[in-house]
Structures are given as structure tokens and as C-alpha cells.
Amino acid sequence: MTERPRVTLLGAGEIRRLAEELDLRPTKTLGQNFVLDGNTVRRIVAAADLRSTEHVLEVGPGLGSLTLALLDTVGAVTAVEIDPRLADLLPRTVAEHAPTRRTALQVIAADAMTVTADRLVLPEEVAAPAEPTALVANLPYNVAVPVLLHLLAEVPTLRRVLVMVQAEVADRLAAEPGSKVYGAPSAKVAWYGVARRAGSISRNVFWPVPGVDSALVSVDVHRHPRTDDRAATFAVVDAAFAQRRKTLRAALTGWAGSSAFAQEICERADVDPGARGETLRIDDFTRIADAMKAVDRGEQE
């Protein structure tokens, strides 16, 4: 097999030059913080543990640092970029720094929260899986959790995830039940797979320098999709964590209609109604949702 030519990554000077060319002033609104350090970019790709045939979905490629490193490693990249200037620039940057890989890039100018799976399919001539098999991204801090959950729900072909997020968000996503930071995001991500913290990233490798440090989170997506009712389960999760310090009996009162019925549903699900949401695993929330559905079916018969 012919070895693929190495891709030239962007240096700090070139990143600033490209930004100046676009008259780009990174904004907090779009969560624009660009990674300047090539070693950090390579480290992110290595941590993702990607196969050479992978079709990677990248959200917020920015000026293309991570995109280039991904194209140096995998079969194809679909990059979703909300800023039209950056979306227009990315193919030119790839053509200049990775000319043999330019056809392996697909750019979608859109808000990731509006993207559906059918928009992510590659053209037939690209030698990679048609649909994304991995998500690797430096997610904007202000929308990291909603974007991650949206894509996990929308793209069932994903098998591995590695995202860079604010350090405290990483702690929440990877938290286990009983932890002080375990919450609704932790439980919801656990629906899709096993989340782990995969390393820390210093704020000093970014431009502009953010006020917080970042961290990597990996998600090993379940090979066999769950068949339970996700919406019903997530409704229970939201209710349980809306009043974090309350017992399930109290926290689920609004969801169930009364505290007595909330207690009955928990007991039917073999979950202690005196427990708090932060002690429950995702399977516990699912059993509560299923118990409510069973009662509803019984009333309809």
C-alpha cells in the first residue's frame, strides 16, 4: 500500500494570518477559540483512537487545525461550521496544506443543532463509510452538551466520540452516580455509551486564551442501540434533576401528578422513592419511565 503523504499542520503564525485575511475576530457567541499548538492537535487525534478508514464528523472546524490532522489519519472528514466565512475558507486551506486529501473533505455550512443524519452522507466516490463513524471536535463551550446530545441522537452510526470541552463540563459528562457533579448530562450521555475523561488541555494552547482550562471526553458508544423510549426516560431524568436535593418522591411529583403516584411508580420500578436522582443510573431512570408506561397502558385497556 502506498504511504499517504504527510499533511502540513497550521502554525500559530499562519492561524493568525488566516484570521486577519478574513478580518476574523473570534467571538464568545460562537465559542471561537482556535488551537495554536500542533502537538496538541496531534494528541487529540491520537486520543480518539481512529482507524484509517474512519469517516469522522467534526463540529466547529474553525481555521482547520484539527481538520488537517484528521485528514492525515482517517478516510474522510465531514466538517460542520456555523460561520460561513470559515466554511468557505476550509476547502482552500485543505487544498493548500493537504492537496492529496482535498476530495476527502466535505464541508457543511450549518448550525450543528440543526444538522440531520441525511446531510452527513458522503459522495459515493469517497473511499470511506458513507455515514460518520466517529465524532471528533473542539466543541464551543456555550453549546457543548446540547450539540453532543443532539449528534448522539441524530447519528446512530457513530461508534466512538472524542470531544474537547470546558474542564468542568468534562467532569460532569464523565461523572458516575453519587458524584457531586453527576447530573442530567451525565445520565443522558450514559444512555448512548460509556463516557470517560481522556486528558486535560491547557488554556495556553488556544487563541484567544479562554478563561478556563479544557479537557477531552471520550464516549464508547454502545454497539447495540437501546430499544427503550429515550424521550420518556429523559423526561424522568429532567424531572429528577430539576430539584436536585429532593427525593424522587418529591422531585417526580410534577411529572407523575402527585407524590403518592410518584412513590407508586418508583416502587413498581424497584427504585427507592426516598433516593435522590444523583444516585441513580440511567437504567434506573428507564425502569421508572417503563413503569409509568405500563400503568398508562393498563388504564387504557
- Binding site listing: 33, 35, 60, 81, 111, 138
E strand residue ranges, 244-299: none
Residues contributing to the annotated binding site for S-adenosyl-L-methionine: 33, 35, 60, 81, 111, 138
Q: How far apart are CA 221 and CA 239, in angstroms?
A: 25
* Nearest by Cα to 249 from 299, 191, 297, 288: 288
Lookup: cell for 118: 441525511
Work out whether strand 214-221 and strand 193-201 pair parallel, antiparallel, or are unpaired: antiparallel
Q: How far apart are CA 66 and CA 89, in angstroms?
A: 14
Q: Identify any residues that bridge with 56 across adjacent strands, giving them in sequence order.
A: 77, 134
Helix, strand or coil, per DSSP, at residue 70: helix
Cell 467571538, residue located: 27
* Nearest by Cα to 240 from 202, 183, 159: 183
Lookup: cell for 252: 417526580
Work out whether strand 160-166 and strand 193-201 pair parallel, antiparallel, or are unpaired: unpaired
